[in-house]
Structure 1
Amino acid sequence: MLTKYLPNRLMKIVSSFLQNYEIFRIGIFALFFACGLSLTLVISACSSNNTSNSAATQAANQSATNQNVAVRIGYQKAATILNAIRAQKDLEKAFAASGASVTWAEFPSGPPMLEAINAGSIDFGYTGESPPIFAQVSGTPIVYVAYDPWSPKAEAIIVPKSSFIQTLADLKGKRVAVAKGSNTNYLLVKALEKGRVDYNDIKPAFLQPPDARAAFEGNNVDAWAIWDPYLAAAQAATGARTLTDATGLAPNRGYYLAAKSFVDKYPDALKTVLDEVKKRSNWAQNNPAEVAKFLSPELGIDAEVLEVAEKRREYGVLPLTEEVIRGQQQIADTFYKIKLIPKSINISEIVWKGNQ
């Protein structure tokens, strides 16, 4: 509107300026658009690279945090997973890049293994339900880091095939072999409750599996509370009768436990250990015959017998749920009620949250 009042020459100058300005404005817009598109492509490429390299970066970071860690594992020959990991050197391979060292110590059962954690001799191990309860009562600085479902069919109370004992009530006044503080210690308590027999009305013979087997075969005990694969071996060798297994009495779970100092100081190393345990556990679940062949020379038990034990158990490396914690708490409360332990404890206080 303003241009109609201007002289022709001035009007031409203004018109030329406005045309040039419009070209300049369009050019600037195009430049910014091109820059934005380029930046988007760069970010997209970087994001793609980050995704493809995330696993490698995570592995590198974990390797760095595992530098010079000394990982000390306790195991039992009959505890399939850790024994197989030891034999196959799974952990040594997993820690090779970081330079961490791995050492192994064998134990006859769970209680002495947890005593070793208390003494600072080992960092990690696997036991049945009862040993960690006794350990917590005594002040052992342990942490539940995972559980294994195992199976109620994998533990039982057996009697000689010629025994006059026919019911749980018949255990009153009898001598029963059991590993003190073991998973079958709880089975024995619950079985006596079902048979309406007071725990104080039996004569417990606290024996480790090899000694208990000798006492059982020598008729020096009337019954034996035992777990697989020793259970399967005794049944095959002696024709022992099963008075009861743990079905409806005890969940018969296994627990992976670690020293609190190890969990606090080396959580990445602990995760590496659990990763390898999971891999080997998956293998064992799908290959019972191979597991039996591996364990046979280790335990001096025929592979066919061991395969029976393998097929009636389950494997897993699972985080502790509220249900599992409540179940373990019930065992602790039962032991306190019958004065097997001198004080009550709170299981949830020593459960690791890093495996959730």
Structure 2
Amino acid sequence: MFHVTFGRHGALLFMLGMGIHAATRAEITLRIDHQKSSTLMSILKLQGTLEQRLAQQGVKISWYEFPSSLPLLEALNIGHVDISADVADTIPVFAQAAEADLTYFAREESSPDAQAILVAQDSPLKTLADLKGKRIAVTKADGSHYLLSTALEKAHLTFKAITPAYLTPADGLAAFQTGKVDAWVTWEPFVSSAERRQNTRVLAGGQGLASYQRYYLSSSAFAKQHPEVLALIYRQLTQACAWVTAHPAEAAQLLSPLWGNLDAATVEQANAHRSYRVVPVTRDSLAEQQRIADAFTQAELLPKRIDAQAVSVWQPPAS
């Protein structure tokens, strides 16, 4: 045990040093991008809990919303943001092929029922084989893209057997409503909204085709410089999951205005199709990432084959 004493000037210098350190910490701004389907991060944003916890560490948040995962991750790759939350499992594969320096720091467990291939209620399409020769709306490089790929493979078809219309969810919905496409592949909450509002039926869901995991990513530079911030975000995400699971109706009411004024019943139905359980990323858990990469390479949507495990992975500290 030891003691430190300060004279008058020493105490002044100590306080000035603390002030400089605090000011330096207060200048840190964490830039987070997300989308409407980033439910847990949206909950934290709406409730203000993440901002409160980070403020205690001298960190401020700037929020950026994107319409889908691909532009969201592009923003992370070029350094416009520090954290992406959360993206469909396909997106990191495309980023890796582009040699983006990204780090996985959390994932949501499988939610195969959270995406689907939709057709009009009176559509003559009854089976996956009926997709041959059809025009299909899908968001390029997103989880729905992989679902469509595996569905075609199951029907012994290739991507060349269809005409893909690469559209954002909003544009995909518009094309679907006006009959410009024969089918629409999308994810929640768009699936539940279409089922409840658009006289739509599910031609195929993700069961047995795509497990649909969602990942939280950081720039590798930020992960190395601020692991304590990732640890705090990870804890907050697990707490948000617990809250959504325990309060489904309340969560739906909170998210309803955010999700394009969807009614709370639709939001609650959509949430029921997502696991939201946040767990660490392990090398073994990246097995489907490799299957996604191989499928897109075979379809000539990736320029080269990649090793999905050759990525940076951050692990939360033991509790």
Same fold at TM > 0.5:
yes
Tell me, in whole angstroms, the C-alpha distance in 1 between the residues paired with 2:171 and 2:262: 16
**Amino acid in the other structure paired with 2:28:** V
- Aligned equivalents of 1:344, 1:237: Cα separation in 2: 41
Task: Give the Cα–Cα distance (whole angstroms) in 2 for the partners of residues 72 and 274 of structure 1.
Answer: 16
2:60 to 87, 98, 101: 101
3-state SS in 2 of match to 1:143: strand
| Maintained 8 Å contact 2:104/2:314 | no
**Letter of the aligned partner of 1:135 in structure 2?**
A
Output aligned runs, 1:225-264, within 5 Å: 225-264=185-224
The CA distance in 2 between the partners of 1:204 and 1:279, in whole Å, is 39
Structure 2 portions without partners, runs of 5+: 1-21
Instruction: Find out whether 1:323 has 2:279 as its counterpart.
Output: no
The answer to whether structure 1 residue 205 and structure 2 residue 151 are counterparts is: no
Offset at residue 160 of structure 1 (A):
0.6
Quote the residue 1:118 is aligned against: 77
User: Among residues 115, 122, 137, which one is paired with 1:177 in the alignment?
Assistant: 137
Map 1:188-337 onto structure 2 (within 5 A).
188-299=148-259, 300-337=261-298
- Encode CA deviations 1:111-148: one digit per residue, 9 max, x unaligned: 00111011211111110111111111112221111110
SS where residue 95 of structure 1 aligns? Answer: helix
Measured in 2, the distance between the counterparts of 1:65 and 1:350 equals 31
Q: Distance in 1 between matches of 2:24 and 2:143?
A: 35
Gaps of 5+ in 1: 1-62
CA distance in 1, matches of 2:208, 2:155: 13
Question: Alpha-carbon deviation of 1:69?
Answer: 2.9
What residue identity is the alignment partner of 1:333?
A: D
Report the residue type matching 2:196 in the other structure: A
Query: Which residue matches 2:88?
Result: 128
Q: Distance in 1 between matches of 2:115 and 2:168?
A: 15
Q: Is the 8 A contact 1:156 1:184 kept in 2?
A: yes
Which one-letter code corresponds to 1:116 in the other structure?
A: A
TM-score of the superposed pair, with normalisation by structure 1: 0.79
TM-score by length of 2: 0.88
2:150 and 2:42 map into 1 onto residues whose CA distance is: 30
Letter in 1 for 2:272: K
* Deviation string, structure 1 residues 302-352 (Cα, Å, up to 9, x no partner): 111111111222111111234321111111111111111111112222231
Amino acid of the residue matched to residue 194 of structure 2? Answer: A
Match of 1:153 among 93, 100, 113: 113
Q: Which has the higher contact order (CA 8 A, sep 6+)?
A: 2
**Partners of 2:105 and 2:218 within 8 A in 1:** yes
SS at 2:157 equivalent: coil
Question: Contact 1:292/1:307 (CA < 8 Å) preserved in 2?
Answer: yes
Contact 1:148 1:317 in 2 (8 A): yes
Residue pair 2:26, 2:60 contacting (<8 A) in 1 also: no
Higher helix share: 1
Larger Rg: 1
Equivalent residue for 2:126, pick from 160, 166, 188: 166
Shift of 1:355: 2.9
**Cα shift at 1:98:** 2.3
Q: Is this contact kept in 2: 1:66–1:269, CA < 8 A?
A: no
TM-superposed CA distance for 1:65, in Å, is: 11
User: CA–CA distance in 1 between the matches of 2:278 and 2:221?
Assistant: 21
Match of 1:346 among 301, 307, 314: 307
User: How far, CA to CA, are the matches of 2:142 and 2:122 in structure 1?
Assistant: 27
Aligned residues: 295
Deviations 1:151-173 (A, max 9, x none): 11111001011111111001011
Identity of aligned residues (%): 37
- Are the equivalent residues in 2 in contact too, given 1:66–1:268 (CA < 8 A)? no
> Which structure is higher in strand share?
2
After TM superposition, give the deviation of residue 202 of structure 1 in Å: 0.4
Match of 1:115, as an amino acid?
E
Give the C-alpha shift of residue 97 in structure 1.
2.2
Q: Tell me the amino acid that sits aligned with residue 142 of structure 1.
A: L
Deviations, residues 161-198 of structure 1 (Å, cap 9, x unaligned): 11111110010110000000100100000000111111
Any idea what the Cα deviations from partners look like across 1:194-227, whole Å, max 9, x if unmatched?
1111111100000111111111010000001110
How far apart, in 2, do the equivalents of 1:249 and 1:106 lie? 29
Any idea what the Cα deviations from partners look like across 1:250-277, whole Å, max 9, x if unmatched?
1111101111110111111111111111
Q: Give the 3-state SS of the residue equivalent to 1:190 in structure 2.
A: helix
